């Protein structure tokens, strides 16, 4: 009877309405156990149910592994009707996500010549498979060569989906799988333009090739981009296998496709999922990435996700579900100086990886600011937007453009087309002093906000005295051994966690600024269509680049410790992370030059060698996450949507609160409602993964204005694998704050056995209600 009701429900929906302008893509969660036995598969059930609507049923994807259900186009009225069906659990509107767009292995302490250490202990990750959900892959690059690799792991069930420009032979013992998912993209945008995009796993953007080689690229020598960053390129886990899942297209990455990729990756047998895309933070039951990631970790698959590039502002971090490892970006000890020499003798520091013909070193060029050119609207021309520059005022000159709105590389193309001989991109106040090096199509460099102000003042003062301002750009190549490093990248998204403030995000940071990695043919290094230069490697920046560093490290840790869960791997990375730079001083924030905080870097910068032997780990099970969701006031239906299992919320709430999730960091938010004394407690359980008969003693650095106690103060382990619990009590007093204001104080808790330090940040936030 239920099946016939399902059919009847869909006959109520207009056959034409699913494709009209008012329809949207929805992901439908269905009770998979309710499938009538007359249908051999769930897809047959869903398709038959939709057959009364159209001769071509509008199912986009079905989901069987990390989620149960399908995606389809519906109007809002149809979606509301669908929710009344007894076997439909939830209907989730689709989001469109966007990409978060070497020397780094050496900077992280991973050297192929070491006879001991993480690379050696893990056999370079050779039996692990990393699934990269991104823009696809360019399989012919040397980074994906399978020389010297053993047979494909027997557990692997994936395949190489062949198409016109991607033969099955493109896969090998390194690239063991490649698939693409475009149903959601085409459901919204219509049939793709195959003259500009590849209906295949082939990468027509570059982002996916770059991230895949960061996580698991082979050793390649020589490697460079336009002569910059010469040396050996390799990924974090050089022998790990790769599987590419293409979900991102010209207009973005669609939730229905992302969820299908998660479903396929976990069914195929990946060990790690690397995801460098994100979007608006929504509750977890409406977040397809959070749902797919939970299904993955529930099967023992580690999920690494980029934190986003919305920094340096607060509350910008994305991909914040506590079962994902959220990765921010830091710098490495290498940069590419390209300084501006002004006509007044002053020099403004900048960065660039421009590799074409340079400017005449003995000549100073006329300098203009786009925002002060006549004939434009000022604002558009200041940003060097298409159509805003007058060629007669730009020709033969270096143009100063403000950062923002259009891409930095596109600004250069616009200046070049209008006759400019060079370009300087100046950060705005929000960007601060954070600099990103780009492969420009003309001589160009990027300068910080203060440098931009100095150049504008020089131009203005020259105009007042009727003198022609002049400048040139001096490119200095590659410089290594930079101090300080690491520094938190300006663009790296920051906390606090907008969905669950009690869970500190990001979790860690990793190299994400100016990272060298593989790049496709047919795409210029600037990404600009007119750029006909070709290079095997490119230098990009973003938390997109930081995320696959952690994905590769997770594969190495999983190979070295096959029994570790995704939560244990994350714990090892977090509790061994560091917060000092190569001067042995506290890490700085690139945007301001000031000391950074846990809201910027979470637990700190990853330290792979120490993560291999963390001593203790904070493990978390799927049932712990269920309890967390209960204590976060998610409904039973919401929880089933995320976890595919019912929760005993009464028991969970009796057992604790949101902060009692067994997370490797501690965060509490106190609302000041007039109580002078505020207090809470955390309960944590640690598992001994170090040595038997080991004793750990606690060291506490309490946040300013708080009292912190830990009971017991000593943990004595008799064997490896033993679990012991402790309680942390936090007491503080109300402080005077204006309505809506917040006070954040940080400290840490360290368990030490004299050899290992298991460190957790402790954050206390006081908020004054409006």
Cβ neighbours, 10 Å, residue 562: 10
Report the chain's C-alpha Rg in angstroms: 27
Taking Cα atoms as reference points, which of 94, 329, 93, 60 lies closest to residue 214?
329
Residue 498, token pair as written in the block:
């907008």
CA distance 431 to 434: 6
DSSP-derived 3-state class of residue 36: coil
Which amino acids are annotated catalytic? 134, 207, 544
Count of C-beta atoms within a 10 Å radius of residue 467: 11
Q: H helices then E strands: how many in the chain?
A: 20, 38
Strand ranges in 442-587 using DSSP code E only, listed in sequence order: 444-447, 470-475, 479-480, 508-511, 515-518, 537-540
Q: What is the spatial distance between Cα 460 and Cα 534, in angstroms, rounded to a whole number? A: 39
Is residue 458 classed as helix, strand or coil in its secondary structure? helix
What lies within 8 Å, CB to CB, of 723 at 6+ separation is 619, 685, 686, 687, 688
Instruction: Find where tokens 């032997």 sit.
Output: 613
> Which secondary-structure segment (H or E) carries 746?
strand 742-752
DSSP-derived secondary structure letter, 137: B
Q: Cα 477 from chain centroid? A: 29
Those residues with Cβ within 8 angstroms of residue 169's Cβ, 6 or more apart along the chain or in another chain: none
**What is d(CA 423, CA 525) in angstroms, rounded to the nearest whole number?**
17
Instruction: Return the closest-CA partner of residue 444 out of 506, 357, 549, 521.
Output: 357
Spell out the alpha helix ranges (H) of 465-607. Answer: 543-560, 566-575, 598-601
Check: CB of residue 546 under 8 Å from CB of residue 328. yes
How far apart are the C-alpha atoms of 615 and 618, rounded to whole Å?
Answer: 11
In degrees to the nearest 10, what's the CA dihedral of 316, 290, 303, 34?
Answer: 180
Query: Which candidate, 77, 150, 292, 215, places its Cα nearest to that of 555?
Result: 215
N residues, the chain: 770
């Amino acid at each position: 009877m239920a099946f016939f009701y399902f059919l009847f429900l869909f006959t109520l929906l207009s056959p034409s309405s699913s494709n009209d302008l008012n329809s949207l893509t929805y992901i439908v969660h269905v009770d998979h156990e309710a499938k009538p036995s007359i249908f051999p598969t769930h897809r047959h059930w869903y398709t038959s149910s939709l057959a009364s609507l159209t001769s071509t049923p509008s199912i986009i994807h079905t989901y069987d592994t990390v989620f149960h259900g399908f995606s389809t186009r519906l109007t809002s009225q149809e979606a509301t009707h669908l929710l009344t069906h007894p076997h439909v659990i939830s209907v989730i509107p689709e989001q469109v996500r966007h990409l978060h767009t070497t020397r780094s292995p050496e900077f992280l302490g991973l050297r192929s010549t070491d006879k001991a250490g993480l690379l050696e202990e893990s056999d370079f990750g050779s039996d692990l498979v990393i699934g990269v959900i991104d823009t696809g892959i360019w399989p012919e690059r040397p980074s994906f060569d399978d020389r010297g690799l053993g047979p494909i792991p027997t557990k692997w069930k994936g395949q190489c989906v062949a198409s016109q420009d991607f033969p099955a032979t493109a896969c090998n013992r390194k690239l063991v799988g490649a698939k693409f998912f475009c149903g959601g993209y085409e459901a919204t945008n219509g049939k793709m333009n195959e003259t500009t995009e590849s209906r295949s796993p082939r990468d027509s953007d570059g982002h996916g090739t770059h991230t895949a080689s960061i996580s698991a690229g082979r050793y390649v020598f020589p490697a460079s981009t336009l002569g910059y960053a010469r040396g050996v390129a390799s990924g974090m886990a050089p022998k790990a296998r790769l599987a590419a899942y293409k979900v991102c297209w010209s207009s973005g990455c669609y939730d229905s496709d992302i969820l299908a990729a998660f479903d396929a990756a976990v069914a195929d047998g990946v060990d790690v999922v690397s995801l460098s895309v994100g979007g608006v933070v929504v509750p977890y039951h409406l977040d397809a990435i959070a749902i797919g990631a939970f299904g993955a970790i529930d099967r023992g698959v580690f999920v690494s996700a980029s934190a986003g590039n919305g920094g340096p502002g607060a509350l910008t971090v994305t991909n914040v579900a506590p079962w994902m490892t959220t990765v921010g970006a830091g710098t490495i000890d290498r940069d590419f100086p390209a300084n501006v020499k002004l006509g007044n003798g002053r020099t403004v520091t900048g960065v660039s990886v421009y590799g074409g013909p340079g400017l005449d070193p003995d000549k100073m060029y006329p300098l203009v600011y786009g925002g002060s050119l006549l004939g434009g609207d000022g604002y558009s021309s200041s940003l060097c937007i298409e159509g805003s520059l007058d060629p007669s005022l730009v020709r033969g000159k270096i143009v100063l453009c403000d950062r923002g709105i259009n891409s930095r590389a596109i600004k250069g193309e616009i200046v070049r087309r209008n006759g400019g001989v060079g370009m300087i991109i100046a950060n705005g106040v929000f960007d601060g002093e954070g600099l990103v090096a780009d492969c420009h199509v003309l001589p160009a460099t990027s300068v910080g906000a203060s440098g931009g102000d100095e150049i504008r003042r020089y131009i203005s003062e020259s105009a007042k005295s009727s003198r022609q301002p002049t400048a040139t750009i001096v490119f200095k190549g590659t410089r290594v051994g930079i101090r300080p490093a690491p520094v938190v990248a300006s663009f790296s998204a920051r906390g606090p966690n907008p969905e669950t403030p009690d869970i500190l995000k990001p979790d860690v940071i990793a190299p994400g600024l100016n990272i060298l990695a593989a790049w496709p043919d047919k795409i210029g290094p600037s990404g600009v269509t007119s750029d006909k230069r070709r290079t095997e490697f490119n230098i990009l920046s973003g938390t997109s680049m930081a995320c696959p560093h952690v994905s590769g490290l997770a594969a190495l840790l999983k190979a070295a410790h096959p029994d570790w869960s995704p939560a244990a791997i994350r714990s090892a990375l977090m509790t061994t992370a560091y917060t000092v730079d190569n001067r042995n001083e506290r890490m700085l924030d690139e945007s301001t030059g000031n000391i950074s905080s846990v809201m910027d870097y979470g637990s700190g910068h990853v330290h792979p060698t120490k993560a291999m032997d963390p001593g203790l780990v904070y493990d978390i099970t799927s049932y712990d996450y269920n309890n967390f969701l209960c204590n976060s006031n998610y409904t039973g239906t919401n929880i089933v949507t995320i976890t595919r299992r019912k929760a005993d919320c009464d028991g969970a709430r009796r057992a604790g609160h949101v902060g009692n999730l067994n997370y490797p960091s501690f965060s509490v938010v106190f609302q000041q409602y007039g109580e002078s004394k505020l207090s809470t407690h955390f309960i944590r359980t640690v598992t001994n993964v170090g040595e038997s008969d080991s004793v750990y003693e606690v060291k506490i650095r309490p946040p300013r204005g708080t009292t912190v106690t830990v009971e017991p103060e000593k943990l004595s382990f008799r064997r490896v694998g033993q679990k012991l619990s402790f309680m942390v009590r936090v007491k503080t007093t109300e402080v005077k704050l204006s309505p809506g204001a917040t006070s954040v104080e940080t400290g840490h808790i360290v368990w030490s056995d004299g050899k290992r330090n298991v460190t957790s940040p402790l954050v206390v936030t006081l908020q004054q209600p409006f």
